[in-house]
């Protein structure tokens, strides 16, 4: 029997995409976090899994405060129920390196990643074994205007620069990426397996920034100006080790699928502009 899933984050980019994937296979409900706190415990008990995609802007930008921690508030409400809670963390909790596994050194560098690490520890105390922490790498996908943009990602900055008619010139800088389509498939398999513990969610392979920009720029026939990366811009190089996840869900994650998604994004964006 498929597990029933409650998805919190009606205006979330990843949440909306995951809901569209999930609803075709199992009982699934999508709500916002305000409606979650109005739900009675007897109704929450109908779900096997809860996953939250909503986030407070103050949680992203400010130092940790329990007032802004939506995840811990959700956990406190469900701690007496036998429900698996999926917490979306970030690869930014780690010290930058290559092939980072789940036990590698932690060195969060901004308020967002520091807060995520604090939440991970607090959630573990509240939920014990009913917790799954997913440390996710950079996600590539087009956000609709009405969806949340509290937290900017690589692709947001890419399109901001494209609108200015420029592309940042990268040399040997690399990161670990996942297409939104790849991520929703991975989340679907995670839900099916009802995993718990901590997992890296990533491509697990080195992707050079100039490489992914080339894919995203496939259908851009306009003249663009290449500008040098300045000292303040992100030069962090990293890759996550995803072997624990790949083995748990029995799924291979390919770079060619990321490339395909990037080219589809390029086609959709630039063809609509022409």
- For residue 146, pLDDT over 60 is answered with no
Task: Kindly state the average pLDDT of the residues 23-49.
Answer: 94
pTM for the full predicted model: 0.94
Q: Is the pLDDT of residue 130 over 60?
A: yes
Position 147 scores a pLDDT of 47
Mean pLDDT value of segment 140-144: 82
Average pLDDT over residues 196-213: 96
When pLDDT is averaged across residues 118-144 and rounded to a whole number, the result is 94
Give residue 271's pLDDT: 81
* pLDDT computed for residue 218 by the predictor: 95
- The parent domain of residue 178 ranges over 5-273
Tokens representing residue 216 in the block: 């995203």
128 pLDDT more than 50: yes
Structural domains counted in the chain: 1
The number of angstroms, rounded, from the C-alpha of 240 to the middle of its chain's C-alpha atoms is 14
CA-CA distance, 161 to 62, in Å (whole number)?
26
The C-alpha atoms of residue 83 and residue 211 are separated, in whole angstroms, by 41
For the chain, percent of residues with pLDDT exceeding 90:
80
Task: Label residue 103 by pLDDT band (50, 70, 90).
Answer: very high
Q: Is pLDDT of 21 > 70?
A: yes
Counting residues of the chain whose pLDDT is more than 70, the rounded percentage is: 94
User: Is residue 121's pLDDT more than 60?
Assistant: yes
For 142, other C-beta atoms within 10 Å of its C-beta total 14
Q: Model confidence over 218-252: pLDDT tens digits? A: 999 988 898 887 765 556 899 999 999 999 999 99
Task: Supply the pLDDT for residue 223.
Answer: 87
Sign of CA dihedral 146, 17, 175, 254: negative
- Of 198, 197, 206, nearest to 240 by C-alpha is 206
What is the separation of C-alpha 57 from the centre of its chain, rounded to a whole number of angstroms?
Answer: 16
Indicate whether 48 pLDDT > 80.
Answer: yes
What three-state secondary structure class fits 131?
A: strand
Query: What would the two tokens of residue 31 be?
Result: 């709500």
CB atoms within 10 A of CB 239: 23
The two structure tokens encoding residue 222 = 């306009």
Specify the residue for token string 């509290």.
150
CATH number of the domain where residue 175 is located: 3.40.50.720
List, for residues 168-185, the tens digit of each pLDDT value.
Answer: 888 899 999 999 999 999
Looking at residue 30, its pLDDT comes to 97
Hey, is 33 helix, strand or coil? helix
């Amino acid at each position: 029997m498929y597990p029933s899933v409650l998805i919190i984050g009606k205006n979330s980019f990843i949440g909306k995409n995951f809901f569209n994937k999930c609803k075709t296979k199992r009982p699934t409900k999508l709500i916002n976090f305000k409606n979650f706190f109005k739900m009675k415990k007897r109704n929450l008990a109908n779900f096997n899994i809860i996953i939250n995609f909503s986030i407070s802007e103050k949680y992203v930008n400010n130092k940790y405060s329990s007032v802004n921690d939506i995840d811990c508030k959700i956990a406190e409400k469900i701690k007496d129920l036998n429900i698996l809670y999926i917490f979306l963390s970030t690869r930014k909790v780690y010290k930058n390196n290559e092939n980072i596994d789940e036990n590698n050194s932690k060195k969060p560098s901004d308020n967002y990643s520091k807060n995520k690490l604090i939440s991970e520890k607090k959630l573990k105390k509240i939920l014990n074994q009913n917790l799954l922490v997913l440390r996710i790498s950079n996600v590539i996908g087009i956000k609709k205007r009405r969806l949340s943009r509290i937290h900017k990602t690589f692709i947001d900055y890419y399109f901001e620069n494209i609108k200015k008619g420029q592309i940042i010139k990268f040399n040997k800088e690399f990161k670990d990426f996942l297409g939104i389509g790849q991520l929703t498939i991975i989340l679907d398999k995670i839900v099916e397996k009802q995993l718990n513990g901590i997992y890296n969610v990533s491509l697990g392979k080195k992707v050079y920034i100039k490489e992914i920009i080339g894919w995203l720029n496939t259908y851009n026939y306009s003249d663009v100006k290449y500008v040098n990366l300045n000292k303040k811009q992100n030069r962090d190089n990293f890759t996550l080790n995803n072997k624990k996840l790949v083995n748990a869900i029995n799924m291979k994650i390919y770079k060619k699928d990321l490339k395909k998604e990037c080219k589809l994004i390029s086609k959709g964006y630039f063809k609509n502009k022409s």
